[in-house]
């Protein structure tokens, strides 16, 4: 059976038309590969959590003396700064690397693929379309970001002996390469086209066949996996979740200040801050001093609201520190050294979009939430009308029409005796001497309005 299997493999490898395998002769490395094979997945969105994971995977491979790292790539791209970090880690490792493109290596995924020593693609896969875009709308970023991306694509292609012009055409739609791409389109290549143009080294259907071609079938294989902590960091470090957490912080803080005291909005704000800064600190994005700036900003806002009336230097400074610290924590700076280009642009876009959403959210909640029946169930709104027996003071409505005696001069306020009670009364403006007979004509809350009777009452009607 082994002989039959070997014969079938021999026929499959050497009798398959050359177009299926492309340039597999160029796939071999200068020196024989020895040691284990690490298979490292690069899937989904490329973010800072993935960059952290790839750095750990490469470090593990180096520590265990691996002979080859195969990056199993299937991604539509992501953050440029994270992709650049992965690119540098791959370029700097001494272990042989292969980018095995299974389906897609678009945008930032193309940059990562170019960093590997060899690029292998499965039939039907593609690589390219590396234009930098802004936000969820997919609009092209300004020229300075395109120039940055084009520069690192060119440098990475040159580092591994690939045509830099083709790499640039994946970013810049103004580049025209006769016979390959016309101006006005960014370059995307199929597996066959990539092999033909020397972008990919071979078109191979699986990692098993790849290792057989490289003579590493018998080598120990390590399927490297993302840890649970890294999955959580990737989730909380994604731009969408970052925006949600910032909305929780800012929105919770706003509503908490509307009703001072640590209530539900304050708990939401504290939770959002902890979940936002915690993963960012672990990912190396948020420095300790950035967290301190955020706390100082909150303290200044609190002083402005509770101690210093108005909105002056403390309030403006606090707002600047809070927003600034959030923006800086989105950028992978080292100390006070900040990167330029796409990293700053991505952070600015995320922060600006969050602020716009915050304004819309606050406006919507302030306008529509109090009208919501479900919201009103959460808020105590008792009926405090007088019909239900609630008054701000005792009301003498029972005295309307009764006759009494002014015990003090009414100028126009004073004291009168009605029935057996001495109460404060007021006239409509006229003066009434003490001892005069008065009539209660109106009661508004605790105000009892009196006047002299139009007709003198009988003696039986006058209260002593």
Q: How much is the CA Rg of the chain, to the nearest whole Å?
A: 39
State the pLDDT at residue 37. Answer: 96
Residues in Cβ contact with 268 at an 8 Å cutoff, skipping those fewer than 6 apart: 248, 251, 252
Inform me whether the pLDDT recorded for 460 exceeds 60: no
Which CATH topology does 389-461 take?
OB fold (Dihydrolipoamide Acetyltransferase, E2P) (2.40.50)
Task: Answer yes or no: are the C-beta atoms of 275 and 245 closer than 8 Å.
Answer: yes
Residues in Cβ contact with 165 at an 8 Å cutoff, skipping those fewer than 6 apart: 175, 177
State the pLDDT at residue 301. Answer: 76
Cis ω before 412 (30° cut-off from 0): yes
Q: How confident is the model at residue 131 (pLDDT cuts 50, 70, 90)?
A: confident
Cα distance between residue 337 and residue 331, in whole Å = 10
DSSP state of 78: B
Consecutive H or E run containing 120 = strand 118-121
Q: Which neighbouring-strand residues pair with 97? A: 69
Inform me whether the pLDDT recorded for 45 exceeds 90: no
Inform me whether the pLDDT recorded for 264 exceeds 80: no
DSSP state of 256: H
Q: For 309-341, where are the alpha helices, taking DSSP H only?
A: 313-329
Instruction: Enter the tokens of residue 8.
Output: 């079938």
Task: Answer yes or no: are the C-beta atoms of 419 and 428 closer than 8 Å.
Answer: no
Q: How confident is the model at residue 132 (pLDDT cuts 50, 70, 90)?
A: confident
Per-residue pLDDT tens over the stretch 266-276: 788 888 888 88
Residues in Cβ contact with 395 at an 8 Å cutoff, skipping those fewer than 6 apart: 386, 443, 445, 446
Q: Which residue has the tokens 């109106």?
A: 442
CA distances from 407 to 183, 417, 433, 445 (A): 102, 6, 9, 22
In the chain, the largest separation of any two C-alpha atoms, in whole Å, equals 135
Say which CATH superfamily domain 21-229 falls into.
2-enoyl-CoA Hydratase; Chain A, domain 1 (3.90.226.10)
* Residue 325 buriedness (CB in 10 A; 0-12 / 13-18 / 19+): buried
SS (HEC) of 194-228: HHHCCCCCEECCCHHHHHHHCCCCCCCEEECCCCH
Inform me whether the pLDDT recorded for 375 exceeds 70: no
Domain ranges of the chain: 21-229, 239-369, 389-461
Instruction: Enter the tokens of residue 157.
Output: 């292609």
State the pLDDT at residue 368. Answer: 63
Half-sphere exposure of 57 (CA within 13 A, CB side): 28
Helix (H, G, I), strand (E, B) or coil at 181: strand
Higher pLDDT, 387 or 299: 299
Higher pLDDT, 135 or 84: 84
Per-residue pLDDT tens over the stretch 158-174: 999 999 999 999 999 89
Distance from chain centroid for Cα 358: 12
Instruction: Enter the tokens of residue 244.
Output: 């949600």
């Amino acid at each position: 059976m082994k002989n039959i299997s070997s014969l079938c493999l021999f026929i499959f490898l050497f009798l398959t038309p050359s177009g299926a395998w492309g340039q597999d002769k160029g796939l071999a490395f200068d020196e024989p590969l020895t040691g284990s094979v690490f298979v490292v997945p690069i899937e989904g969105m490329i973010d800072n959590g993935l960059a952290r994971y790839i750095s750990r995977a490469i470090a593990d491979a180096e520590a265990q003396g691996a002979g080859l790292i195969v990056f199993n790539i299937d991604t539509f791209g992501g953050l440029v700064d994270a992709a650049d970090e992965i690119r540098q880690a791959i370029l700097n490792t001494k272990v042989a690397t292969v980018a095995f493109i299974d389906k897609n290596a678009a945008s930032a995924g193309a940059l990562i693929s170019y960093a590997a020593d060899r690029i292998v693609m499965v039939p039907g896969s593609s690589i390219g379309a590396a234009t930098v875009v802004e936000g969820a709308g997919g609009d092209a970023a300004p020229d300075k970001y395109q120039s940055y991306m084009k520069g690192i694509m060119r440098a990475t292609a040159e580092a591994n002996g690939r045509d830099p012009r083709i790499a640039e055409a994946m970013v810049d739609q103004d580049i025209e390469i006769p016979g390959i791409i016309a101006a006005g389109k960014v370059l995307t290549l199929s597996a066959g086209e990539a092999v033909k143009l020397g972008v990919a080294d071979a078109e191979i259907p699986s990692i098993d066949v790849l290792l057989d071609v490289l003579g590493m079938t018998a080598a120990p294989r390590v399927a490297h996996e993302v840890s649970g902590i890294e999955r959580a960091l990737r989730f909380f470090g994604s731009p969408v979740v970052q925006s949600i957490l910032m909305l929780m912080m800012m929105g919770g803080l706003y509503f908490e200040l509307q009703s001072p005291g640590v209530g539900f909005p304050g708990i939401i704000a504290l939770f959002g801050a902890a979940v936002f800064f915690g993963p960012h600190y672990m990912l190396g994005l948020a420095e300790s001093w950035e967290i301190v700036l955020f706390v100082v900003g909150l303290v200044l806002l609190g002083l402005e609201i509770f101690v210093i009336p108005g909105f002056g230097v403390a309030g403006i400074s606090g707002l600047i520190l809070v927003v600034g610290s959030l923006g800086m924590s989105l950028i992978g700076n080292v100390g006070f050294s900040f990167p330029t280009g796409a990293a700053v642009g991505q952070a600015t876009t995320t922060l600006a979009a969050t602020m716009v959403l915050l304004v819309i959210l606050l406006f919507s909640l302030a306008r529509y939430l109090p009208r919501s029946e479900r919201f009103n169930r959460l808020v105590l709104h008792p009926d405090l009308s007088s019909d239900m027996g609630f008054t701000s003071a005792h009301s003498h409505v029972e005295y309307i029409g009764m006759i009494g005696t002014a015990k003090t001069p009414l100028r126009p306020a004073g004291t009168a005796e009605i029935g057996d009670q001495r109460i404060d009364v007021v006239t409509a403006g006229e003066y009434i001497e003490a001892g005069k007979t008065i009539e209660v004509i109106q009661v508004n809350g605790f105000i009892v309005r009196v006047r002299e009777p139009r007709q003198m009452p009988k003696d039986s009607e006058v209260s002593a």
